Amino acid sequence: MPIPLAENLYKTVRRVRGFLRRDREAELEDLPEHLPEAWEKAYPEGIDWHSEIAPKPLPALLDEAAAAFPDNICVNFRGRRYRYREIAELVDKAAKGFRAMGVQKGIKVGLMLPNSPYAVICFYAVLKAGGTVVNVNPLYAEREIERQIRDSGMCILVTLAMKTLYPKVAKRLADGGGLERIVVCSMTAILPFPENALFAVLRRREIAAIPDDDLHVRYDRLIDNDGMFEPAEIDAVRDVAVLQYTGGTTGLPKAARLTHANLYANAVQVEMWAQGTKPGGEKILGVLPLFHAFGMTAVMNVGLRLGAEMILLPRFKTAEVLKTIDRERPTIFVGVPTMYSALNAAHDLGKQDLSSLVYCISGGAPLPAKVRNAFEEMTGCTLVEGYGLSETAPVCTVNPFAGINKTGSVGLPLPATLIEIVARDGPDRILPLGEHGEICVTGPQVMAGYANRAQETVDALRGGRLHTGDIGHLDEDGYLYVIDRIKDLILSGGFNVYPRMVEEAIQLHPAIAEVAVCGVADRHRGEIVKAFVKLKDKESLKAVELRAFLKDKLAPFEIPRRIEFRETLPITLIGKISKKELKAGRRRNRRTAGTEPPKRSHKT
């Protein structure tokens, strides 16, 4: 580890421990006066900002829940229910199977899976074997997945035997492709009867043919053992559990190194915040993807911490979500603003009983007050907004369920979490309450750094704080408000879209001369992707043709929903395309506008 990085991490740990020991006299000189006291005053009764969270290996969440609630339902997938003891047994068997494949400390295993029992089982099995999970978005295009495989150094990847997924990674088994083995899971094996039989017949054309060789390991073979093995000895503070890809400030995804302690602490922090939850008595509707940091923690890890039943859905469909709430009676729902907006707009909302919901959290993008108010009015459930990043495992702040839920604010810092606002022109200068600056975070959930990005790690953790790249301020009660983003990142329907990657894909078209991609405000999705395109001389291209070209190069949420063709693109004094001018709406020299965004449905 480079010395500057080690010093930054040491400072981070030292500063948080100083607060948690209540030895704060020297530390408070760096903070706006009485800020920790303001947080304690605003906290709901029974929650202590100074709570100490003992670090543990992440699999302790599952082991403890399985010991306490062995016969409770752990995973409910389309009506097929797995008890905690069953999931624990399957995790041990899969872990032994991974160990036989060579998984141990330092080995990276990619999980490219939709929400399903496989996602939970393989996640914890890799960790028990000692490996590191690399979460891979199944919606990514092949070229993006290839980049992630090479960057992370993963040698094994787990996915479904579906034509929409397996072919994206099959080529990576070739010489120099990065992968040594692919673990292939069957969709029919986890579906309840008779849906499994119908799937095998009606959707057989969607099932990929898997070669029968040593490079492919079928899931049923992976778990064909007694599950008896010696779990890896894990140093919770030092060992990396997950490489979680994030855009950061560069526009290119990089992997946040989240330790076991980071992820365990964040699950405990969120569980502490949701006062009144009953261990073994809650149900979480899990439609947020578990490969995303938000879903990984707020659905899977918090679900296990609570001994809750996780009702998993592979994708968000408004009608299905409403019917599931009505039928399964979940008490907790975690989503992004787009989901709440879609539920509000559903015509048949009044036909479904949503009264079981008690705890609802929104994150991933700003939550409009109009959306929050409408959801609360129709459900009777308090909807709170939170804030976080992949680098913080990911939750940093949340509005209280019991207390003041401030409109426009992303809430109070979680226990043991320190939020500071620093000057952009002087990152060591902490600003007083009410002043806008860069949001910085210190806490047990803050990452250990970026993989293979030493300088970016030092920059992000300078001064012992995580510099988020977001602009905001703290009010007199210690509530955080996020004003804007420094980083050139688009948040569309809760998904991160990296403009540079979209631009690279568009540039592959032979008719393109120049392109600039940025986000524009959208009432439903928060932001949508817009591309400003300059064509080469004598070339012609329509928006629909460009989208068709991008279909196999980008994920659906990355393809620009608006395309504007221009004769020229504005440039800065140093010759870079001025996105600031484009965002300002200057339409000089516009040749023609692209088609309007497709008509919205209730899907995100």
Flag whether pLDDT at 524 surpasses 70.
yes
pLDDT at 572: 56
Flag whether pLDDT at 412 surpasses 90.
yes
Flag whether pLDDT at 286 surpasses 90.
yes
What is the C-alpha separation between 268 and 259, in angstroms, rounded?
14
Q: Quick check: 539 and 496 in contact, CB under 8 A?
A: no
Strand segments (E) across 113-249: 132-135, 156-160, 181-185, 216-218, 240-246
Task: Give the residue-averaged pLDDT of 582-588.
Answer: 62
Task: Give the residue-averaged pLDDT of 374-383.
Answer: 93
Convert the pLDDT of each residue in 161-176 to its tens digit: 999 999 999 999 987 8
Residue ranges covered by each domain of the chain: 490-593
Residue type, 33: E
CB count within 10 Å of CB 424 equals: 13
Task: Give the residue-averaged pLDDT of 344-352.
Answer: 80
Q: Which residue has the higher pLDDT, 61 or 378?
A: 61
What is the C-alpha separation between 255 and 86, in angstroms, rounded?
32
pLDDT at 208: 95
Q: Would residue 601 be called left, alpha or beta, if left means φ above 0 and alpha means ψ between -120 and 50 degrees?
A: beta
The answer, as to whether pTM is greater than 0.75, is yes
Q: Percentage of residues in the chain with pLDDT exceeding 90?
A: 70
Judged by DSSP in three states, 62 sits in helix
What is the C-alpha separation between 306 and 64, in angstroms, rounded?
10
Task: Give the residue-averaged pLDDT of 265-276.
Answer: 96
**Confidence band for 19, pLDDT divided at 50, 70 and 90:** very low
Cβ density class 353-387: b for 16+ within 10 Å, e for less: ebebbbbbbbbbbbbbeebbebbeeebebbbbbbb
Flag whether pLDDT at 509 surpasses 70.
yes
Q: Quick check: 416 and 443 in contact, CB under 8 A?
A: yes
Residue type, 321: V
- pLDDT mean across residues, the chain: 88
pLDDT at 593: 41
Closest CA to 101 of 211, 222, 213, 231: 222
- Compute the half-sphere exposure of residue 413: CA atoms within 13 Å on the CB side of its CA: 31
Non-local CB neighbours of 242 within 8 Å, separated by 6+ positions: 132, 133, 134, 135, 258, 263, 296
**Confidence band for 579, pLDDT divided at 50, 70 and 90:** confident
pLDDT at 523: 84
What is the C-alpha separation between 553 and 478, in angstroms, rounded?
44
CATH superfamily membership of 490-593:
ANL, C-terminal domain (3.30.300.30)
Flag whether pLDDT at 14 surpasses 70.
no
